[in-house]
Structure 1
Amino acid sequence: MSETEKAEVSRGLENVYIKATSLTYIDGERGILRYRGYDINDLANNATYEEVVHLMLYGELPNSEQLKRVKDVLNSSYEVPEDVLRVMEVLPKDSEPVALMEAGLAALATHEKEFKWKERDREKALEIIGKVSTITANVYRVKQGLTPRVPSPGESYAKSFLEATFSKSFTSQESSMMDKFLVLYADHEVPASTTAALVTASTLSDMYSCMVSAITALKGPLHGGAMEAAFRQFKEIGDPSKVDDWFERTIVKGGNRLMGFGHRVYRTYDPRGKIFKSMAEVAAQGEARKYLEIAEKLETLGVKHFESKKIYPNTDFYAGILMYGLGFPDFMFTPLFALSRTLGWLAHVVEYVDEQHRLIRPRALYVGPGKREFVPLNQRK
């Protein structure tokens, strides 16, 4: 039997391990998510995003001096070259939001001249996290026809981002919810976007190019677009009184997918989803409250219908309602995901290059015809 005949293809690379990691642990059966050993609930409720940045990049929660250094580097890294924002500004206003992020990050890559892995990769990661805040804020501003704006150094990364995006002040409670959003979406092992970043890093390309690879993979509705898809589902329903009819017609009889339900890894309620639900209950006012009521009714029906298959709400189900409550239109949901996941992407590529570097070069199982004789053009029928 030939090697080709013995080989097996793992479609979607399901259950294929491409790296060892000390970053994120997931127990999909019990609904456990930990960063560097710390439970996601403890981190979301007690640590700031800047503390989690230090944890993921340097391995430990910071002391006061280390935390100050992280904040100082982030605060000093918001500025980007003028041409970067100009590239975003001159693109069509109807450009896809994530495509605007791609353009901004690719423009930043043109300024990357002499980066060398292992010399200052963690410091470079901090700088990139600062600049991605600027890029993300200006996705919103470009789409809304507003002048570009750079976040101002401030007490927290989350608050600086919010105020640069909307040109207004935010309460400590609102800033805290944005902060928790960043913590909750920061990493989730090696989904498609992180894998794309790792493939690029394995070639020893620069970090901005790794980011571009990651964000292009995030763009699809089966990955980063799921939060937006779940929220648009609530908008489609329109009113809590219509949930039962919509569910019966669209999900039960129509056989369509219930967006925001189910996960490749979790076979129980996504632990992040529970935290997002509690925050959405606080942030949802006005129209957002209506969407929350729709989501809660839909959750009840969905759990009853899918529980036997171990399909439950995931992190995307309520996250969009929280962001909408903070003022973000739904077109910003995937860029916001990218803003948070920047930390995970960078932490993974640093870990891979520093500790386990090897060019990622998988094989494809050939299933085509055997050797064929070439026929000249004038002899072909």
Structure 2
Amino acid sequence: MSEISRGLENVFIKATSLTYIDGEKGILRYGGYNIEDLVRNCSFEEVIHLMLYGDLPNSEQLKKVKERINESYNVPPPVIRIMEELPHDADAIAMMETAFSALASYYNYPWKKGENKERALEIIAKASTIVANVYRLKEGQKPEIPEPSESYAKSFLRATFSREPSEEEVDAMNAALILYTDHEVPASTTAALVTSSTLSDMYSCIVSALAALKGPLHGGAAEAAFSQFLEIKDPSNVEEWFNENVIKEKKRLMGFGHRVYKTYDPRAKLFKRYAEELARTPESKKILDIAERLEDIGIKNFGEKKIYPNTDFYSGIVFYSIGFPVYMFTSLFALSRVLGWLAHIIEYVEDQHRLIRPRALYVGPIKRDFIPLSSRN
């Protein structure tokens, strides 16, 4: 009898040279490079080149990536007008879905080797415009198109907040973009791959990925983890909150545990470092204190089961300290992951393409005699 792999766990759907994960040792590498080295030494644009072209760029290659991105921030005005018509209280990812779906009407490019990666650079630029304006429109502000600057992260923050971001904020945003770039084939990447296997356009593949990311068990985890800290309210309440909610009520401790990692998520360590660097206001310091106390008690209770903080535990504190409200956390995840989605679908379509068409194991009646409606009791 055929076996069903629930959740497609341990099913390999493609070969990849993009991301390597050792969940037992807590190792994450993009193209062979340790995530720690990339975050400490690289710009997001360098990682864009790595993921799309297979290696870190030299100066001339990096210049070309930046130029292509800088010339591609503009989106058709009707796309912005469509976003303006959406309710201000609409879900941020739903607004992104709508915008990317509209973009598919303007840029329905066929797949073509030699051009796919250039198209990907355009999409990455437009993603910055879309996410910046999701925030601006939800806050009742006028739309803004990012302007070229020293970095993708800086251009995005400038357009989002209409102010000059600090060097620490730019560094943290750059790090977050790198950390969320890719993680092999979670639900959203799988959704993008399924769509790409039909040779649908890249923008439509992003819409599929966003629809999957929108679920609280995937992209919404950072929002849920941060909401815990707000619910706890004060560091002195951590132990009581944990005992009442996690121990007694058996509620899930958000931001803890991972399908792949059986030790501390390497991304969580780096996000924690940036959270500590950015926590300068009394409010952000208090939230960080709550998170660290909750981490300690969580590891004491779940560490033996190999359940540790994942990337979403501290990322929300980083985003909040930069100035983002909770409703934007998943969109910021998506802004980064657009690169990973594009890299995976290009790798798949160009090198391994086959229509993804799984089967379902039938368990119903094998054969029934038809009974007319008049004879059914």
Q: TM-score, normalised by structure 2?
A: 0.99
Q: Is the 8 A contact 1:243 1:294 kept in 2?
A: yes
- The correspondence for 2:340, drawn from 331, 338, 344, is 344
Separation (CA, whole Å) in 2 of partners of 1:294 and 1:106:
40
The DSSP-based 3-state class of the residue aligned with 1:26 is strand
Structure 1 residue runs of 5 or longer lacking an equivalent are 1-5
1:291-338 alpha-carbon deviations (Å, 9 max, x no partner): 100000000000000011100000000000011000000000000000
The aligned amino acid for 2:312 is: D
- The correspondence for 2:131, drawn from 127, 130, 136, is 136
Q: In the alignment, does 2:78 pair up with 1:51? A: no
The DSSP-based 3-state class of the residue aligned with 1:87 is helix
Q: In the alignment, does 2:350 pair up with 1:378? A: no
Shift of 1:186: 0.2
1:234-273 alpha-carbon deviations (Å, 9 max, x no partner): 0000110100100010011111100000000000000000
Q: In the alignment, does 2:258 pair up with 1:258? A: no
- The correspondence for 1:99, drawn from 87, 94, 102, is 94
Q: In the alignment, does 2:142 pair up with 1:147? A: yes
Separation (CA, whole Å) in 1 of partners of 2:233 and 2:80:
37
Shift of 1:154: 1.0
In structure 1, the residue matched to 2:216 is 221
Separation (CA, whole Å) in 1 of partners of 2:284 and 2:192:
34
1:352-372 alpha-carbon deviations (Å, 9 max, x no partner): 001000000000000111100
In structure 2, the residue matched to 1:289 is 285
- The correspondence for 1:60, drawn from 55, 62, 65, is 55
Q: Is the 8 A contact 2:26 2:261 kept in 1?
A: yes
In structure 1, the residue matched to 2:316 is 320
The aligned amino acid for 2:197 is: S
Separation (CA, whole Å) in 2 of partners of 1:168 and 1:156:
15
1:328-349 alpha-carbon deviations (Å, 9 max, x no partner): 0000000000000010000000
- The correspondence for 2:229, drawn from 229, 234, 237, is 234
Shift of 1:171: 1.7
In structure 1, the residue matched to 2:196 is 201
Separation (CA, whole Å) in 1 of partners of 2:27 and 2:322:
27
Q: Percent identity?
A: 65
In structure 2, the residue matched to 1:38 is 33
Separation (CA, whole Å) in 2 of partners of 1:216 and 1:148:
24
Q: Which moved more, 1:195-204 or 1:286-295?
A: 286-295
In structure 2, the residue matched to 1:77 is 72
Shift of 1:116: 2.8
The aligned amino acid for 2:187 is: A
Separation (CA, whole Å) in 1 of partners of 2:99 and 2:261:
33
The DSSP-based 3-state class of the residue aligned with 1:205 is coil
Q: Is the 8 A contact 2:238 2:290 kept in 1?
A: yes
Q: Which moved more, 1:109-118 or 1:80-89?
A: 109-118
Separation (CA, whole Å) in 2 of partners of 1:313 and 1:173:
24
Structure 2 residue runs of 5 or longer lacking an equivalent are none
1:173-217 alpha-carbon deviations (Å, 9 max, x no partner): 211110000000000000000000000000000000000000110
Shift of 1:277: 0.3
Shift of 1:284: 1.3
1:102-127 alpha-carbon deviations (Å, 9 max, x no partner): 01100100112443332400000000
The aligned amino acid for 2:319 is: M
1:270-289 alignment runs, 5 A limit: 270-286=265-281, 287-289=283-285
CA RMSD of aligned residues (A): 0.7
Q: In the alignment, does 2:15 pair up with 1:20? A: yes
Q: Is the 8 A contact 2:278 2:318 kept in 1?
A: yes
Q: How many residues matched?
A: 376
Separation (CA, whole Å) in 1 of partners of 2:138 and 2:196:
31
Separation (CA, whole Å) in 1 of partners of 2:209 and 2:200:
13
The DSSP-based 3-state class of the residue aligned with 2:75 is coil
Q: Is the 8 A contact 1:117 1:353 kept in 2?
A: no
Separation (CA, whole Å) in 1 of partners of 2:108 and 2:21:
37
Q: Is the 8 A contact 1:196 1:217 kept in 2?
A: yes
Q: Is the 8 A contact 2:109 2:201 kept in 1?
A: no
